[in-house]
Amino acid sequence: MKPDYQPAILAPAGNRAAFLATLAAGADAVYCGLKSMSARMEAKNFSMEELAQLTQMAHDRKVKVYVTVNALLKPDELDRVGRLIDSLQRHVHPDALIVQDLGVVALARQAGFDGEIHLSTLANVTFPKSLGFIARILAVDRVVVPRELSIDEIKAMADACPKTLGLEAFIHGALCYGVSGRCYWSSYMGGKSGLRGRCVQPCRRHYRQGDQKGRGDQKGHSDRIARSFSCQDFSVDVLVKILGQVKKVLAWKIEGRKKGPHYVYYTVTAYRMLRDRGNDARIKRDALDLLAQSLGRETTHYQFLPQRLQKPIDTRRQTASGLFMGKVQGPVKNPCVVVRQALLPGDVLRVGYEDEAGHTICRVTRFVPKKGRYPLNLGGRKTPTPGAPVFLTDRREKALEEMMAAVEASAGPLSPLVPSGFKAALPEPLKKSRRPVEVRVSRTPSRASGRNVVGVWLSETVAVNLDKSAANDLWIWLPPVLWPDDEARVAGLLRQCLENGARQFMLNTPWQMALFNRPKGLSLWAGPFCNSANALCLETLKALGFSGAFVSPELGEADILALCRQTPLPLGIVLSGNWPLCISRTLADDIQLRVPFDSPRGEQAWADQHGPDYWVFPNWRLDITEKRTILQQAGIQMFAHLDEPVPPAVTLKNRPGLWNWKIGLR
């Protein structure tokens, strides 16, 4: 007899083979992306015709299909994405869209999309009170909660979740160091944004902390070189039994749209076993063995058990994706690897890390037994570095290939598509008139000087020492992330600020509006961490009750100026300051706060703690001050300067801080 509640197992598919593997494994739903506008653009993804064919195959098996349209949209992309959604509606009929950008929600409504709308984890819905606000105002169907939440925090989210809204939780896959939607590291280093699915993963590289001459830092710590921000994979494994008690969690999500069919089949099969027969000790052991052989990284429970927290970074372990098979041995001219497990013909090996010399990929040509020697003869293309690790990254077992072929045999023909003529309906642009405001934002309150207005990050010190005579002119900036166990504290600080006369607040997620109960007489702006980048997103923010909004600091010149022409809200922009590379809930044991560390390319940064989170800052400032006249003429009505306490050991570089102004957001 089927239980009343059974969470769906939601599997990833980044290519056709992985999609077939999800169906062969018996997943309840599959999520995938198109060739554009997906937050995993490095995956192969699908054409519209192919996705229509595969979705029909899935629906024939009662498997749901969710399509990711979860990239940040620039001003000139609204028509294109609207046409994409219109074509999905008419030709593919997916069960849901997964989105992060509020502009996509508006486009889906305009296009008449009749499936569900799911808010991606990139939308940064992180605290319980936000859920009622989202259900009431935004009318979406599901929220994907962050990987950083503990089971107690997930339960708190579930308890606050309205009947009309469901939750989805990750159970397995890669962990980003930065909180989803709060990592700008790749973008800051060259325009390739994680919010656009183009992250180059700078967090996976080696970093050095301490004196470059090996003398250590001022606290006596020795010079260290390590992958200090490279996380292990997340795996709830047998603890899904606890998660299964939270009935508001409608789906268990497996990360991995860049993974192959072996990974998909093994993880889906393992979690089906744990969900359906997890009380059987033998089944549990078999499922864990499948997860161990799924070709991911070594795993961690991370924050899932609050009484047994695990840091996801261990610099003593391998953190490259794939199953570790051994190290390169032998003479340079005839390198080999002695494998820890048997190799099969067709297996794919990765030699070394992608950022190291000698890194390469090779395909195994013959069977190799456990502890057997396999020559790494790469035909003179590259010479593997002695001692470099070797990972098994993909496998095509004959049995799996046969199951996938059986699924493939049911595929119908590709149908021709009728082009979409959809055109987005944009809001009426705002008439710009008032003189711009200049806000200098710091961690501690200071007095206004000249034309500068004072801004300050919310904290206990600020709330307690707020001067009633000056409170009305002060801008209070809320944190970019708010966790469930910190909601009551922040709400209390806001009440205290309101009682002392504060009337101007910069919210750094749209959902923080839920903390204010829509009061009159306040000026509530959407801050720069809201990642606003198009007119429909701004129109939605206006409908949510915002008085103004900051443009995403990732945008380039052309996009900023285009947005100024289209906006229905007063706009602000970060003109200069210490912008973080990312914000994280964790820090490796070997990274010291407020001590500089260096990348392999000589870039320097430091980590600091603010509230419960760790902020990582580069040692050069965002600075588009020279563009102020252009921006003022375009209609920007608030300029912000973000000042961070720079550690004594850090020297700020005098280098251009234009970010993506010239190169544009990619």
Query: In 176-253, which ranges are continuous DSSP H helix?
Result: 185-188, 240-243
- The reported pLDDT for the residue numbered 117 is 98
- The reported pLDDT for the residue numbered 426 is 95
- Give the phi and the psi of residue 521 in degrees, each rounded to 5: 85, 10
Instruction: Using pLDDT thresholds of 50, 70 and 90, give the confidence band for residue 223.
Output: low
- Average pLDDT of 232-240? 97
- The reported pLDDT for the residue numbered 48 is 93
Asked if residues 109 and 133 have their Cβ atoms less than 8 Å apart, the reply is no
- Give the phi and the psi of residue 106 in degrees, each rounded to 5: -65, -40
Asked if residues 267 and 256 have their Cβ atoms less than 8 Å apart, the reply is yes
- The reported pLDDT for the residue numbered 266 is 98
Percent of the chain with pLDDT over 70: 94
- The reported pLDDT for the residue numbered 269 is 98
What whole-number distance in Å separates Cα of residue 411 and Cα of residue 61? 12
Asked if residues 19 and 34 have their Cβ atoms less than 8 Å apart, the reply is no
pLDDT in tens, 463-497: 998 988 888 889 999 999 999 999 999 999 999 99
pLDDT in tens, 386-437: 999 999 999 989 999 999 999 999 999 988 889 999 999 999 998 877 789 9
Residue that is written with structure tokens 């603890």 in the block: 239
- The reported pLDDT for the residue numbered 666 is 87
State the average pLDDT for the chain.
92
pLDDT in tens, 18-51: 999 999 999 999 999 997 775 555 556 789 999 9
Amino acid, single-letter form, for residue 544: L
Give this prediction's pTM. Answer: 0.95
Cα–Cα nearest to 509, from 479, 533, 537:
479
DSSP state letter for 408 = H
What whole-number distance in Å separates Cα of residue 598 and Cα of residue 208? 5
Instruction: Using pLDDT thresholds of 50, 70 and 90, give the confidence band for residue 627.
Output: very high
- The reported pLDDT for the residue numbered 333 is 84
As given in the structure block, the two tokens for residue 85 are 């959604």
pLDDT in tens, 494-531: 999 999 999 999 999 999 999 997 668 899 999 999 99
3-class secondary-structure state, position 324:
strand
- The reported pLDDT for the residue numbered 27 is 98
Is residue 580 predicted with pLDDT exceeding 60? yes
As given in the structure block, the two tokens for residue 79 are 């028509």
3-class secondary-structure state, position 622:
strand
- The reported pLDDT for the residue numbered 402 is 95
What whole-number distance in Å separates Cα of residue 87 and Cα of residue 416? 12
Lowest-pLDDT range, 40-44, 378-382, 560-564? Answer: 40-44
Q: Which residues pair with 442 in a beta bridge?
A: 456
- The counts of H helices and E strands in the chain are 17, 31
Is residue 546 predicted with pLDDT exceeding 90? yes
Burial call 164-198: b when 16+ CB within 10 Å, e when fewer: ebbbbbbbbbbbbbbbbbbbbbbbbbebbbbbbbb
Cα–Cα nearest to 575, from 632, 655, 645, 519:
632
All domains in the chain, ordered by first residue: 8-175+232-295+404-408 (3.20.20.70), 323-394 (2.40.30), 437-579+621-642 (3.20.20.70)
Is residue 608 predicted with pLDDT exceeding 60? yes
- The reported pLDDT for the residue numbered 354 is 84
Is residue 2 predicted with pLDDT exceeding 60? no
